[in-house]
Amino acid sequence: MERFINILIIDSDENTVRGLKSILNGGGNNVISVPTEEEANTILNKRDIGIILVSASEKEGGVELLRRLKQHPKGAEIYKIVITDEIGSGTKLVKGFREGAVDHIIKPFNPNLVKAKIEVFKALFFKDQRINQLLTNIFPQNVLEDLNVQGKFSPQRIEEGTVLFTDFVAFTKIAKRMLPLELLKRLETYFNKFDEIIDRYQLEKIKTIGDAYMALSGVTEKNSKPAVRACLAALEMRDYMVNEKLFAQATGKDYWEIRIGIHSGPLVAGIIGAKKISFDVWGDTVNIAARAEHHSVPNGITITDRVAGHAIPYFNLEHRGEIDIKHGGAVDMYFLNNLKGPYSLFEEGKLPSSKLRKGCGLMTMDFEHARRTILNRLKSSLPDELTYHDIKHTLNVEKAAQQFARLEGIKGEELVLLRTAVLFHDAGYILTNEGNEEIAIKLMRSELPNFGYTEKQIQQVAAIIRATIRGTRPTSLLEMIMCDADHDYLGRADYHAVASKLRIELEEQGKTMTDIEWVKFQLNYLENEHEYYTETAQNIRNLGKSRRIAELKNQLNELTKGE
């Protein structure tokens, strides 16, 4: 599996830069070069850099530059390698290591040695990423930031946090009749879906305890309306489980039902444990939320009056009256049924409108549901004879677009618009093989307003899709990434397998070619028509593309030998 990394060279010597790029380009290395510290800071502020190669010469800033790089917010985590001359560099190297350098490479370069050293630090970089990912799954982001900066996380009192609990109805009986592995797989499926939902509404998962699932809102993040966001997440969890039940009943399978409880109030948040530490929250608010869940009904959401005060403008509630809570007295409770029409997409009472999402501090575009809708449309409506422009192609292009976007520093709304364009760019093939891009844009225009996209955003998505029309030259970075992702496979090792699908598809359209014609067709496109537009794609894929061209030329020579 390919892994991609940004490598930054800070050196004004063109020969040095050219030599390093010739050694390192390809193999997932996106090598970026800048001559000055100022330009390097611009890159560091936008992109995630894994390795920096920095000149040790006094002209380039030498040791002082390393010291300043270490002080950059991202600089301490980047592996820094010194570029030095073989003679008279000992003192500089010692000082460089004191300022955070991890190794050095010597001019003139030994290509094999340079590659070997880079591979070592690439492996360490990806290991660091994996560790950070695991830590992010264990601790909230604000806790990790405090641990990194201060080495500890002090207990905090939160005056108004929201706690959400779920558990499954009659889980003990379910566990007795299922094999352990089947039980765990089922739990994992449901909990993974819950993770996806709470991420969408910026909640924080705290833990699972058996079949119970606990999440927080308004404790580890600063988005608006924490209680409302918890209610939105609860509705989506419940509706997901109801849909699962309906499908199971229709197919004669068993089903699980869920209970959900939500309460808001004061909390204490902190880290507990000496060896196996964990983040947790304490207080009556946790206990009351757990009791609200316990007193709920199958596929029901019970909220307390404290939550109802925040929810009543947006949701349809059903008053349950006071319910006695063990060691907590009587608490007034409500059933949370659905969203009020004006605050829901399609007036269906399920998904929040863009206005409500904005009020909750969420992105106004509901990308995940838009994505699910278009993928379902592609699965059900793309003609079977499309062996190349099928849903797998769309998903592969989306993956490539995300990889290029990450390396180019594209995030947030821009990334969502790019992915949206990718998902729709081949939707026109549902109706036609010619002029499919404009058909895709019409389909996109009819769908995206339902998911909170503004007219300006829709125009941006349309421009990105139009950039894929043959003969069109992309102008913006997002358009370039779209085009490069669409043809990412031209520089990959699986090129021939993908190209064979295109040949089959063309034959289905009556465009049959002999083997020689097919090879010439590919060569003409690769050599005379196609180009990668972003520096990232050029760095990563041009070398592979050159190899594909060489392979095709060898094929052509073999095919024409007897002529």
Of 62, 268, 84, 256, give the one whose Cα is nearest residue 174: 256
Q: In terms of pLDDT, which residue wins out, 130 or 1?
A: 130
Q: What pLDDT sits at residue 310?
A: 96
Q: What pLDDT sits at residue 328?
A: 67
Specify which residues 331 forms β-bridges with.
Answer: 323
Of 283, 311, 93, give the one whose Cα is nearest residue 206: 283
Q: How far apart are CA 226 and CA 214, in angstroms?
A: 15
Q: Which of 325-329, 420-424, 451-455 has the lowest mean pLDDT?
A: 325-329
Residue 406: pLDDT above 80? yes
- Domains of the chain are 5-137 (3.40.50.2300), 153-359 (3.30.70.1230), 367-559 (1.10.3210.10)
**For the segment 234-264, what is each residue's pLDDT rounded down to a tens digit?**
999 999 999 999 999 999 999 999 999 999 9
The Cβ-side half-sphere exposure at 293, using a 13 Å CA radius, reads 26
Average pLDDT over residues 219-228: 92
Q: What pLDDT sits at residue 100?
A: 82
Q: Which of 43-47, 115-119, 149-153, 230-234 has the lowest mean pLDDT?
A: 149-153
Q: Are strands 300-304 and 329-339 parallel, antiparallel or unpaired?
A: antiparallel
Residue 191: pLDDT above 90? yes
| Residue 253 CB neighbour total at 10 angstroms | 10
Residue 90: pLDDT above 70? no
Average pLDDT over residues 206-218: 94
Q: Which of 90-94, 408-412, 435-439, 450-454 has the lowest mean pLDDT?
A: 90-94
Q: What are phi and psi of 170, to 5 degrees?
A: 55, 40
SS3 29: strand
Helices (H), 72-200: 90-98, 111-138, 141-150, 171-177, 180-200
- In angstroms, the first-to-last Cα distance of the chain is 41
**For the segment 20-42, what is each residue's pLDDT rounded down to a tens digit?**
999 998 889 999 999 998 999 99
Residue 101's pLDDT band (cuts 50, 70, 90): confident
Q: How far apart are CA 473 and CA 480, in angstroms?
A: 8
SS3 2: coil
SS3 209: strand
Query: DSSP label at 109?
Result: P
Q: How far apart are CA 288 and CA 267, in angstroms?
A: 12
Residue 4: pLDDT above 80? yes
Average pLDDT over residues 67-78: 83
Q: In terms of pLDDT, which residue wins out, 148 or 308?
A: 308
- Going by C-beta distance under 8 Å and a sequence separation of 6 or more, which residues neighbour residue 210? 167, 171
Percent of the chain whose pLDDT exceeds 70: 96
Of 530, 406, 397, 535, give the one whose Cα is nearest residue 30: 535
